Structure 1
């Protein structure tokens, strides 16, 4: 079902898919990457729905990354009010950009029961600063998304975006998935987040490193690991947020 969600007076496109079974449903907000591509995560949506979960896939209102938190919270509002959804069993599953907003939201919204963060960049300030010398075009593109704030002079917007800075406030179960050949979101960002969560006392964090997996679920450009990723997420959620009470 295609729908729109009003966030700050601006319409956000979304797609709600419900499983066939009745009863009160566990639910997932599915948060896409930078391009807001819902279709690219259809393999995750289908696996989650087949597992008996309602899935609300969102397309952020735009490309202002600091607006993402409001978008996800509005999606949670919609699910929590839905007559088919159990508001106490709402999880977030995000990829790249979506994984970062999922982690931040878990730190701020107690309605989040669990987070599966796939290919996150958690130390965003360090990531942007490092790219200046080895990838100047990418550096310029990243900086432009933060009002051209110089990360060496004005780090605040980058620090506000960095999921790593929210680790001490995340108490929900967390699954981190990283790929060894991911050049966009190097696996050490997931390792940093996992270490920070553990240091903050979150004993329900799990890090999965997928050999050969790239950022877009390609594996050494020979095949892909979409099915493997979907199976991992659904298996983990079965314990973290069961579909039945």
Structure 2
């Protein structure tokens, strides 16, 4: 090759190297764009190389998992024998005592009516309705029912619930949407069976009014087969969203206020309220159920009772719904409702 041409080629080669090196080390605004990866695998490797090696953390504001009624299934609490306290009342038909027992790590108080005689007697554990815990006194809410049952030969145990009267407090009660109440009622059944009282262990039923009606359904679902019958009297809805919308408007002491503050309202988090309701789990109930409701109930609308009855019937539960021309607390029709209650118990506590 011509020497002149060789010199020109060499000079061009040196110039090209110099230009290339400047481009690779230029400023950010002049940085050469890298070619896109040609295959999906190369794209994946490239993306992975651009990511930090430490896994991202869960945001602090993430909502905690809400509880469920299923958390309580098939765990019947043991209980100490019932301890008799002072005599409250003595009639020809029965003697009434202040009582207490220990269950689920708590001391639970209540009132016990024992029929006169040697027994053994069938028994009913009573679940009272909503009463302000600060105003509640032991045995309040079902005095009429307790007396009527004892006069007809039934041991009647009224459970005060945790955080009521002389019962121990439970810091998790409100956050668990009061499900501890049903645990206390089941503990009452265990306490009766652990005691030396004249109780027929094979003939025990549950009865609850208003909020207590919901407590009875919860207890029947938590522990199928533990008792022989359930009575649901002027009960709340079997959907907790209904109950919150009816009574949960007050931010501090409204129904479910603490639960809503932790897990959201039914509109914000419907699953949190559905999972704590009894209606989704009625197929667990194995005992016959008597429902009693007033056609003019001003607190718990009659349509709630119809919906609960229909859900129970569709689940093949042996359920009977009796209607009475009365309001929530029952006045004129109370005696008839209790006669029907005793007739139901006589059929099923055998």
- One fold, TM greater than 0.5? yes
1:71 aligns with 2:184: yes
TM-score, normalized by length of structure 1? Answer: 0.85
Structure 1 residues 82-139: Cα deviation after superposition (integer angstroms, max 9, x where no partner)? 232222211001001111111111122221110000011233334146449xx84499
Distance in 2 separating the partners of 1:13 and 1:86? 22
Partner of 2:37: none
**Which of 135, 138, 141 in structure 2 is aligned with 1:40?**
141
Distance in 2 separating the partners of 1:73 and 1:175? 19
Distance in 2 separating the partners of 1:162 and 1:18? 34
RMSD in angstroms over aligned alpha carbons? 2.4
Higher strand share: 1
Partner secondary structure for residue 141 of structure 1:
coil
Query: What runs of 5+ residues in structure 1 fail to find an aligned partner?
Result: 219-223
1:145–1:7 distance in 2 versus 1, CA, 3 Å: farther
Partner of 1:221: none
Distance in 2 separating the partners of 1:129 and 1:41? 24
Larger Rg: 2
Larger relative contact order (C-alpha < 8 A, sep ≥ 6)? Answer: 1
The residue correspondences of 1:41-120 to structure 2 (distance < 5 A) are 41-62=142-163, 64=174, 65-83=178-196, 84-109=198-223, 110-120=225-235
**Which of 5, 29, 42 in structure 1 is aligned with 2:125?**
29
Shift of 1:240: 1.6
Q: How many residues align?
A: 233
1:151–1:29 distance in 2 versus 1, CA, 3 Å: same
1:145–1:119 distance in 2 versus 1, CA, 3 Å: farther
TM-score, normalized by length of structure 2? Answer: 0.61
1:195–1:206 distance in 2 versus 1, CA, 3 Å: same
1:185 aligns with 2:286: no
1:208 aligns with 2:322: yes
| Contact kept? 2:129, 2:210, Cα under 8 Å | yes
1:196–1:138 distance in 2 versus 1, CA, 3 Å: farther
Structure 1 residues 46-85: Cα deviation after superposition (integer angstroms, max 9, x where no partner)? 1111111111101111374121121111111111222322
| Contact kept? 1:29, 1:92, Cα under 8 Å | yes
Runs of 4+ in structure 1 off by over 6 angstroms are none
Shift of 1:160: 4.1
1:174–1:138 distance in 2 versus 1, CA, 3 Å: farther
Shift of 1:22: 1.5
Distance in 1 separating the partners of 2:239 and 2:251? 13
Shift of 1:234: 1.1
Query: What runs of 5+ residues in structure 2 fail to find an aligned partner?
Result: 1-96, 164-172
1:172 aligns with 2:273: no
Partner secondary structure for residue 171 of structure 1:
coil
